[in-house]
Structure 1
């Protein structure tokens, strides 16, 4: 045997030797990594004791390799589920059903992560040219569970096989619910360096974006506000500047922007403030109605507030549609949730977490800014 060669089960089998491998603990089946660390009845019992001391509960039977349910209330009120899906198609379908059943028991932020042993698209598997039935079923499972599959950064594949990595695919991933997505403004799924395993670690980073100075945006829903056009006309006619026509136009537009920014911070220009006020008043009337019949004036007020709330929902949909840039969808179809997801995805894709400069990875926001500015300064000078 060559110097420094490691005598492993795989190396022995490559030399044509037949091994009778049994678990040294239970002696019932082959001693694989999954069996030794998860499936062996003795190991299983030890895990159960250890995890119960940590406040972690088992929620899956052993036939799906013991997915874990755990949560840390000090961080985020959310459910986290680790999954190892089998290679067998039938057993994998059982996994999707069991995960869905457990999901129905909980509300709030929810995340599923692990080795799913299946890809979603041909691009996630090396030398794959068609989308298989298992890929479609996995995508249907994600859609049925209303989960978000974030883009993987730092590489294409999470699993490799063979000395030359001839086989590669993305079978490890994080999936999370809309509630989880709403809990953070920045969520990155990043591929880490692979050392000895055939799987590359995947990190889910959740945090806040750096608060940059916001630029002015004209919200289309403003046009639905009563008296808005007359207000714009009044402001425009009140501005007085001298100079060339193009200079006057530029000055008026700048002054109008200032007026609109100031107005947008008022009750009439802020959707969040409007919604809070309407709901607060409706809650007050509902509390009164529990104790007595509403007066005619209160009934009229409630009807008016409900109409205002309906109008507010339309404006909210217009606002999220504009931010999502999905202008091919029609307004009025109650697609607010979809628009919200798109807008969050756009914000994530527009954010630069790290920059590689001359082989060095930079993650400090200020250094990233400096490198980008310096690059374009050299480019245009």
Structure 2
């Protein structure tokens, strides 16, 4: 997942009071709008946050287990409803949860998506143990079918929760549910799970569209300074060029070093991405195998090594995005995935122009926006012409 989310939903926040400063430190600067359901003591709690530069809130509904918000996409005025939910564990409370979920259904056929830890399975195969959950599963499936919601297929994993015991129990308790209107409006919605390095739940990502044009500005990353190979590169490259005698020589020397660093950065980024993808793929495979059988001691050792390596890579990413975010970093709470680390990594979108209007026509694509801006300034400044100055030196010597 290369892009930071535009909407974030957290469950079981355990915040009995939503301190605004702490919330903003947790969700980041760009996710500047949010709704919360406070926890009761240290149990429960839901947070739903979004970027007000991309979405405009039209309406909201906050209940005990569910909170809903109607958002309008600023680029094309598409309106949809998102409901964040945290399902209770007791049977008596589940009935109230189901009623709230039914009450959250939009009445005007808005695209609707429900997300969160629902604490109940939808299908019998969503749980590996033989405990008696079939009644609640059937009840919840009836509710979902009555609301005309569809289960968005989870790619790469079969379950989202494990009790992390010697003989583990697996279940799919977290999910995205989408309405028919949502699937028609956003037919390319994809749900994926990423490795859970410090939690018994897998973080889930629903990707609809996350592509933004990026600049080629050179930036020195603080995390590079902690790598010995980077220090050796700088020392070797700087020492290979003769001492600068003039400012021009110094500029040439700096440019040569910059070119060498850019080449190293590209190779380093490819290596980091390869190792990150390898760790995630292996962790996914091990998670899938553990859902079918008991892992061997070698596989358990490999899992621990992969988790440690993946966590190290995530920490490197954390340092990079900490530098780019220009804000107070996460001081508390879970720090268990690249997904959470990149919540504040959208500084590159601070200068993004979402839409350019030219003579009543809205341009959304990057190349169309660039062309419209070029035409505007070309028209404003006039046609290109060769400028010059003529000066008659004889005028200086003319007698007055």
Coarse TM-score class (shorter-chain normalised) = 0.3 to 0.5
Compare CA radii of gyration and give the structure with the larger one: 1
Larger RCO: 1 or 2 (CA < 8 Å, sep 6+):
2
Q: Between Structure 1 and Structure 2, which shows a larger proportion of strand residues?
A: 2
